[in-house]
A and B are shown apart, each in its own frame.
Chain A
Amino acid sequence: MGESFVQLPEEGFVTRVIRRKLQLVASIAIISLAAAACGGSSDTSTDASASGSGVSGDVFISGSSTVEPISVRVAELFESIEPDVFVDVEGPGTGDGFQKFCAGETDISNASRQIKDAEAEDCAAAGIEYTEIKVGIDGIAVLTNANNSAVDCVTFENLFNLIGPNGEGTTTWAAADSSLPDAPLDIFGPGAESGTYDSFIEIVLEDLAEEAGVDATTRTDYNPSAEDNIIIQGIQSSDTSLGWVGFAFAGTESKLLEVDGGDGCVAANADTIASNEYPIARDLFIYVNNANAEENAALRAYVDFYVTEGLDTAVAEVGYVPLTDAAKDEVRAGWNG
């Protein structure tokens, strides 16, 4: 059966055809991309956008997974007004987001901290100019198990001793900090990719680490997780656990410790966070690519909506602390100017 009428095709011929096939795939991709790009900007159906101004276009957002729900919620609210503006959101993390943003791949970068100097330099080198917009506040809650009655309030020094690099290898609270009770210490927190991790270091650990002459980082022998529920569940798994998560995800199952940032113990709640009394709170930002905003009316309209309805409604809806009215006015003035 295997006998053939002709000789095997030459190797060169086969390779050529395969190559042609690959080119076909490539050209399908390119054509469809081009079509997508054209389709996006030329497709202006007017009947569906009765309530809006009828702008259309694509907006792509990447960055912090903490801010992601706000931007998604804003997009959901915006959708009913401008149905022809298409907003896609992904959330790999603040650092990843800035890398893409400064490569010009995204329109908006969600961030749970301000842009770092190194990142700003990358942006400048690539010629990307941007506008920073503060959208809300996220308190960082310090948690322990609800059964833990031995500790109510911790100072920044306590936290540095417990979670900072000097705590490496300690297995009880007392071993890390002699002023604390002698109980097993199990620490749960976000991993290094998370904005909550960066913020915690920046707010709580950085100055003390400098004084102590050690790196501003955490000990490495804690249980890191990118998922807040895993951190919460970890805290519940041990009676004398310690952990930190975004205030929105603290829930009610664990005990929120009061924190002393130098001005006495303050409990974490929406009021103390918005008023900046609670010491471990961080601002949430979006960074908008200026050049893209100028070209893309859809992006402009989305950010316009973000700084009005978004700040008023969406931030609270997804569990963050909204800005005060004065701060909102400042943000709006900053964007419109």
Chain B
Amino acid sequence: MADISISNSSTAAVGSLSVEALAGPQKRARKEALIRSVFLLASLVSILISVLIVVSLVRESWTFMTQVDWSVTWGQNGWRPRRGLYDMPTLLVASLIVTVIAMLVAGPLGLGAAIYLSEYASKKTRSFFKPILEVLAGVPSVVLGFFALFFISPQVIERIGRNGWLVIGAVIIIAYLAVIAGWTRNLVRREAGTELATQIKRVLTLTALVATALILIWWVNSVAGSGDPASADFFSVKRSGQLAAAAVGVGILTIPLVASVSEDALASVPQELRSASAGLGARKLTTTVQVVLPAAVSGIVAAFIIGISRALGETMVVFMAGGAADEATFTSSPFEGSLTMTAGMASLATGTDNVVGEGLTFQSLYFVGFVLFLLTLFLNIAAGRFVNRVRERY
């Protein structure tokens, strides 16, 4: 505005240049203010939704928590909401099994794909594979549910279960854990003393402990559970979908997410680091494993946490291929059918707009939802912290 005319503003003194004059005509300012408040309003919708979600969850959960006899929520042998038995361990253990197996699928595949795309692939290869991964990310979960029930369950899981290939599976899992452990040791040694190293160490130790415990539980289960020792089945496998099949389906759904977040983390590592490493004579492998990956580790951890959160919240695949409906008996074996928190909720609500049943059945839906909400919220906040750490570093 080079030309301030004195007639521009009625509040401006004649001949002098005031701040008010620079503001332009009032009508224009009012219009701008109106537009601004419309946009503000739109952004406030997100707060409104958050509040409504919390209110709806807390309201019914509160009724549940204050009225329920807590003994029916722990130590019963199954989740039977319509009979007034709300055994949380049934749902929590099934959720844990599905999440762990899903991450065993999505973790290495997603991270491997990200490393290849970010460190090795030529521009042409990248532009071929990236859109395909994005298509995979867009596949609706009901499609994976169908695939898990009609393909993964009979073609993959049952074969593993029947032929005792699970031994091979267990070896792969243990090898995988060993690789992680070795890698962590290197990493921790390099970053010794930093807060990050301690945290990662803690997280991974916990994961390793949980995984080891799970493997032990399966093994004990298979020995104690099979009444016929001569049976060729390593574990008795049900033909109608089981947690393992659903978990592999969930894992497939999670691959693109892990890949894309990890790739972002790898891409944010400055090129100078790679150049410097190459300049010192390091091989590509050394550069990738010892320079780039450690530099991006916060982001990769974030990718895994986001993947876990996604797997925990996935509903339809487990609902369709998890091998249980409406009720579930407690099981710690991935080769049996059970309900995760999400599938339990979907089962309870299927086919009707009014969930009824004995006493607190409807409220139990919201209680489970609330527990799930808190868990994913915690994971998402943790992931956010790790992502921010990468941003701050570079």
Contacts and interface: CB of A to CB of B under 8 A. Distances in A.
Contacts of A172: 227
Given A13-B37, A92-B352, 7 more contacts: A62-B352, A92-B355, A191-B80, A220-B78, A221-B77, A222-B329, A237-B239
A254 interface: no
A17 B356 contact: no
Interface in B317-333: 323-329
A52 interface: no
Interface in B172-212: none
Contacts of B40: 8-9, 14
A272 interface: no
A5 B327 contact: no
A184 B233 CA distance: 14
A5 B35 CA distance: 11
Contact of A184 (B78, B227, B355, B357): B227
A100 B327 contact: no
Contact of B239 (A184, A222, A236): A236
A223 B337 contact: yes
Given A4-B33, A92-B350, A220-B78, A226 B325 contact: yes
B325 A230 contact: yes
B354 A100 contact: yes
B351 A92 contact: yes
A234 B336 CA distance: 10
A184 B228 contact: yes
Given A5-B29, A230-B323, A237 B236 contact: yes
Nearest to A186: B236
B296 interface: no
Contacts of A221: 77, 329
B29 A6 contact: yes
A104 interface: no
Interface residues of A, number: 43
B326 A193 contact: yes
A155 interface: no
A222 B330 CA distance: 10
B356 A14 contact: no
A17 B324 CA distance: 46
A193 B41 contact: no
B240 A229 contact: yes
Given A90-B352, A96-B356, A192 B80 contact: yes
B130 interface: no
A100 B357 CA distance: 11
Contact of A192 (B41, B83, B236, B350): B83
A181 to B, nearest CB: 13
A234 B15 CA distance: 93
Contacts of A171: 227
Give 3 closest A-B pairs by Cβ, nearest first.
A92-B352, A184-B227, A6-B33
Interface in B219-268: 227-228, 236-241
Contacts of A5: 23, 29, 32-33
Interface of B: 23, 29-30, 32-33, 36-37, 40-41, 44-45, 48, 76-78, 80, 82-83, 227-228, 236-241, 323-329, 337, 347, 350-357
Contact of B41 (A6, A18, A65, A230): A18
A202 interface: no
15 contacts: A5-B23, A93-B82, A96-B355, A184-B228, A186-B236, A191-B80, A192-B80, A221-B77, A224-B324, A224-B326, A225-B324, A225-B325, A225-B326, A225-B327, A226-B325
A100 B356 contact: yes
A191 B327 CA distance: 6
Given A18-B44, A191-B80, A4 B325 contact: no
Nearest to A184: B227
A227 interface: yes
Contacts of B354: 92, 96, 99-100, 105
A271 B99 CA distance: 50
A91 interface: yes
Contact of A226 (B83, B326, B356): B326
A5 B29 CA distance: 6
A238 interface: yes
A240 B253 CA distance: 37
Contact of B327 (A6, A185, A192): A192
Contacts of A44: none
B214 to A, nearest CB: 22
Max chain B Cβ within 10 angstroms of own Cβ: one of A18, A184, A192, A222: A192
A8 B44 CA distance: 13
Contacts of A4: 33, 36
